[in-house]
Amino acid sequence: MSDSSPLPPVRLRPEAELARAALSTPLLSRAARLARWAGPQARVDDGGSLVEEQLPEAAELLGLTGDDAAAYAAEAWRVAVDTGLVEITDEEAGTVAPGADLALLTGAPHDVLTLWLAALETVVADAGVPDLDDLAAALEEGGEIDFSSLDWDPEGEAELLDGVLGNLYLLTVGEDGPGDSPVPLPALAASTIVPDDLDEPSNDVLERVSDIMMKLDDQFRMLEPIGLVEYRPVDEALMAGAEEEPAEPVDEEDIARYGMVRLTPLGLYGLRARLLEAGFEAPAVGELADKGADALLDGTASYGEFAARAETELWLGTREPLAAARELLAAARGADGGA
């Protein structure tokens, strides 16, 4: 995805609505509960993680049960620390307290969304890391990680996930895309490596798509609790034996069993923020409503029909009809292409 031209404009929900959605996401709400619990009874290790013997208590506080309860509690704690909801008061003693940013969760919608974006960055970073047991096994005597033994390229994995999320954003905001409908995981995986003009993918390409699908399956499972996506995981029965046999073309009737993913309204907001931070031009419908007619005409020239109409209606809605018509006519004068 190139940052040389504007992306299609996105229609965002009001910030107040998005902030409510952020507060209700499982991961941020768990992090907030742990932050309120943080105090003299909580202890962390040198890396700021909750010590292992306290994870059952944290999981119980969050109402988590099952084999993964401690892992979910540890993830929520990590988000609480990374976002400033928890403050480490004494690194040597490993003591903590509720952070100053905890108060932002009851503040303005923009403050809530800023905290949510910080939590999102933590989860996206974690999603690109392989199993921690594999990492521990790969540690050399000097404490360095042998990435070659893991067959893991940190930068490459981060770029792959960013590319997939960028493609999902494009599919969602593009007028020819599925819009609010979920995107099949095989199609999303293929969009990262299969050229548009490739008629018949080879077995090697299909195997690569299958490998990416399985990575994305794990990653979207991690990204769903922060509210970025709604995700239907891959049916594990379908993937049995996938390593022994090349992946086959997906039957249209069974496509949902291979995973389906959809960006939430909060996810659209989050990905747009990440794209802007990365230097992309990612407009939003409504940004031109308070600007002049020349900016409206220039801006909507590259929009699709529905986005241009929505933007123009918002612009007209803030003006008297006669004054708006005069301003538009004046801006449209000239012989250049924009006019």
Residue 248, CB-side half-sphere exposure with 13 Å CA sphere = 11
Q: Which helix (H) or strand (E) holds 60?
A: helix 55-61
Q: Which two tokens stand for residue 333?
A: 């004068």
Greater confidence (199 vs 302) lies with 302
Q: Is the pLDDT of residue 298 over 50?
A: yes
DSSP character string of 180-246? TS-EEHHHHHHTTTS-TT-SS--HHHHHHHHHHHHHHHHHHHHHGGGTSEEEE---HHHHTTTTTSP
**Every domain of the chain and the residues it spans:** 15-129, 154-277, 293-332
Which pLDDT value is given to residue 140? 46
What pTM value is reported for the model? Answer: 0.86
Check whether 234 has a pLDDT greater than 70.
yes
pLDDT tens-digit map of 265-287: 999 999 999 999 999 999 999 99
Quick check: 245 pLDDT over 50?
no
**Reported confidence tier of residue 246, pLDDT bands at 50, 70, 90:** very low
Q: What's the pLDDT score for residue 9? A: 94
Predicted pLDDT at 334: 72
Among residues of the chain, what percentage have pLDDT more than 70? Answer: 83
| pLDDT tens, residue by residue, 63-104 | 999 999 999 999 999 999 999 999 999 988 899 999 999 999
- Closest alpha carbon to 267 in 120, 140, 137, 143: 120
Backbone angles phi, psi at 289, to 5 degrees: -60, -30
